[in-house]
Amino acid sequence: MSYQVLARKWRPKTFREMVGQEHVLQALINALDHDRLHHAYLFTGTRGVGKTTIARILSKCLNCEAGVSSQPCGSCSSCLEIAEGRSVDLIEVDAASRTKVEDTRELLDNVQYAPTHSRFKIYLIDEVHMLSTHSFNALLKTLEEPPPHVKFLLATTDPQKLPATVLSRCLQFNLKNMPPEQIVGHLGNVLEQEMVSYEEPALWLLARAASGSMRDALSLTDQAIAYSSGKIDEAGVRSMLGSVDLGYVYELLEAVTEGEPAKVLETVERMSQHAPDFEGSLDELLSLIHRVATAQVVPDAIDNSWGDAERVAGMARTITAEDAQLFYQIALNGKRDMPMAPDPRRGFEMILLRILAFRPDVAADQPSGTGSLQTVPTPTRAAGEGSVPVKKSAEVSGSSHVMSPTTSDRPGPVEPLAASALPAVTSGQFEWKNLVTENWCHLLELLGLAGIVYNIASHCELNSRDGTSLEFVLDNAHTALFNDSHSDKLGLALENYFGTSVGVSIVPGQCRGETPAIRLQRLAAERQAEAVAAIEGDPQLQALIARFDGELDHSSILPTDI
């Protein structure tokens, strides 16, 4: 007797034999048991999740000679014919090979005729999204109002390509990818009944390689049985899939955590002797870092499917949460760059070296004279020199070196000009008699104004003072939103500050000197120039740029007080 592949041999024959997809099965079982049947069903999902299998089981349920129910007998002629693929009343169509409108019209010519000997004539159209626009148009009327003896079962991996007119005429069921836990459980059951010995870690490798497809998992299992001469072990499956032994991944993460580049490169060298899939190895590293980060937040949530929960918990204690996030981000960005590397191994090594280079506590401990990297210190100038501290942080993506800015909502009170011989401006010390055009900008920051009134006042120049009355000139370019109430509100703020009645008039005109707004812009430009100069003159940063062929993004540099 010829061998039957596992994917076909173990295809479910009833809803009770299905693994997963409970949300779909429950709806279908209830509809069948309560005789609430629709004329068209659409099953969507990726390959190997059970679309065609569910459609065939549903066909048995509809045409079983024992009656319509969610549990077909499986022994009547109708059930047997459907199971063996020879039922004349179940018309299976591969839309990928019958895309023309003539094919669809030919298919529908026989719709009006009753089934040969079954209860319903069922049209199962697989990959229905492959039909042409004209084919869909030819199908629409029949799909909406078919004869009572006709049911349509449609399946597709790409529902986005179906016209809305088709979707609106069907009951749509979205099948989910199978989680690895379900696949492992099913594979274990299958192998036990097939009397094939296996190691559970090998099943987890197969389940993850299947990417949510039970059919792919069974096909890979067939391949693994043949590869390992009738048994399934972890080493054989890893070799077959080209995946790396997890022991190497643990060693790499530990070496990176300890800051030992020599050990990292030596581990990669040993890995390369087994011809691994380095992109797959990077995925394993990302998965391990994710598990470590999860263990740091919720220790009880460690996945022990690999039997390594204790080792992961130990890593979670030795790796800081910040480092775990840094490792993950650099590795994830590196995955994007892997296809551009000269070869996978070099790309993998560079990702690990990049993690070492930009891990702050490791880089800071190594002298630059030995070719290692140092963190970039924050440059400041001595107090009283009119300088502004500059905060710098580095984020690396690919070969670029970008300086990340820090921002605040609004600048704080502005300090007096160093060159002024005027009295210092501090709350409780600014006296009315000292108010002149040159220090109006300092007083403005003490009044507590906000919004449009602050905006108007910042574009005003103090023109004259007569007793307790002040006259301001508002820059012509900022008069669009000005009204008389702004003068009153500015006057009220001045009265509250000085404790005396103050008259305020604001007239549009051409400012002769520097308004507070212009002064702030000038000071900001000066601070920005200082920040750029400090960044560009930093020797450690220049070493980083030269080492990684980086580029400084000037637009991302901001002083800390902006």
- 223-232 pLDDT, tens digit each: 999 888 888 9
Contact 374, 366 (CB under 8 A): yes
Q: Which domains does the chain show, CATH number per domain?
A: 6-174 (3.40.50.300), 180-241 (1.10.8.60), 246-364 (1.20.272.10), 376-562 (3.30.300.150)
User: For residue 375, which of 397, 389, 356, 390 has the smallest C-alpha distance?
Assistant: 356
Band (327; pLDDT cuts 50, 70, 90): very high
pLDDT exceeds 50 at position 325? yes
Distances (CA, A) of 159 to 43, 144, 163: 9, 18, 9
pLDDT reported for residue 219:
92
pLDDT reported for residue 383:
32
Distances (CA, A) of 438 to 238, 414, 433, 513: 78, 14, 13, 9
Pick from 95-109, 460-474, 483-497, 511-525: least confident: 95-109
Contact 334, 347 (CB under 8 A): yes
What percent of the chain has pLDDT above 90?
Answer: 27
Buried/exposed code over 484-514 (b: 16+ C-beta within 10 A; e: otherwise): eebbebbbebbeebeeeebebebeeeebeeb
pLDDT exceeds 50 at position 416? no
Give the Cα separation of 273 and 374 in Å (integer).
Answer: 33
57 CB-near residues (< 8 Å, 6+ apart): 12, 13, 14, 15, 18, 72
For residues 443-468, give the mean pLDDT.
89
Give the Cα separation of 496 and 501 in Å (integer).
Answer: 9
Cβ-based neighbour number of residue 193 at 10 Å:
9
State pTM to two decimals.
Answer: 0.55
DSSP 423-437: PP--TTT--GGG--G
Pick from 425-429, 446-450, 451-455: least confident: 425-429
Contact 109, 121 (CB under 8 A): no
For residues 132-152, give the mean pLDDT.
86
Pick from 77-86, 354-363, 421-430: least confident: 421-430
452 CB-near residues (< 8 Å, 6+ apart): 481, 486
For residues 283-300, give the mean pLDDT.
88
Band (398; pLDDT cuts 50, 70, 90): very low
pLDDT reported for residue 508:
92
- The separation between CA 21 and the C-alpha centre of its own chain, rounded to angstroms, equals 25
Distances (CA, A) of 68 to 16, 57, 78, 433: 16, 12, 12, 99
pLDDT reported for residue 312:
87
For residues 215-219, give the mean pLDDT.
91
pLDDT reported for residue 363:
46
pLDDT reported for residue 346:
92
Q: Who wins on pLDDT, 176 or 428?
A: 176
Band (562; pLDDT cuts 50, 70, 90): low
pLDDT reported for residue 517:
92
pLDDT reported for residue 429:
58
Tell me whether strands 90-94 and 171-174 are parallel, antiparallel or unpaired: unpaired
pLDDT exceeds 90 at position 360? no
pLDDT reported for residue 364:
43
How many helices (H) and strands (E) the chain has is answered by: 23, 10
Chain segment 148-167, per-residue pLDDT in tens: 999 999 999 988 888 898 89
pLDDT reported for residue 417:
32
pLDDT reported for residue 243:
66
For residues 288-306, give the mean pLDDT.
82
Band (353; pLDDT cuts 50, 70, 90): very high
For residues 24-47, give the mean pLDDT.
91
For residues 365-387, give the mean pLDDT.
37
pLDDT exceeds 80 at position 271? yes
For residues 493-522, give the mean pLDDT.
90
Show the tokens assigned to 413: 């009170």
pLDDT reported for residue 352:
93
Pick from 97-111, 175-189, 247-261: least confident: 97-111
Show the tokens assigned to 279: 């992109």
User: For residue 322, which of 301, 292, 284 has the smallest C-alpha distance?
Assistant: 292
401 beta partners = 396, 552
Contact 61, 68 (CB under 8 A): yes
Chain segment 44-64, per-residue pLDDT in tens: 998 889 999 999 999 999 999
Band (361; pLDDT cuts 50, 70, 90): low
Band (561; pLDDT cuts 50, 70, 90): low
For residues 184-208, give the mean pLDDT.
89
pLDDT exceeds 80 at position 403? no
For residues 78-98, give the mean pLDDT.
87
Chain segment 61-84, per-residue pLDDT in tens: 999 999 998 999 988 999 999 988
Helix (H), strand (E), coil (C) string for 144-167: HCCCCCEEEEEEECCHHHCCHHHH
pLDDT reported for residue 480:
80
Rg (CA), the chain: 37
Average pLDDT, the chain: 81
Unique residue bearing structure tokens 């591969």? 94
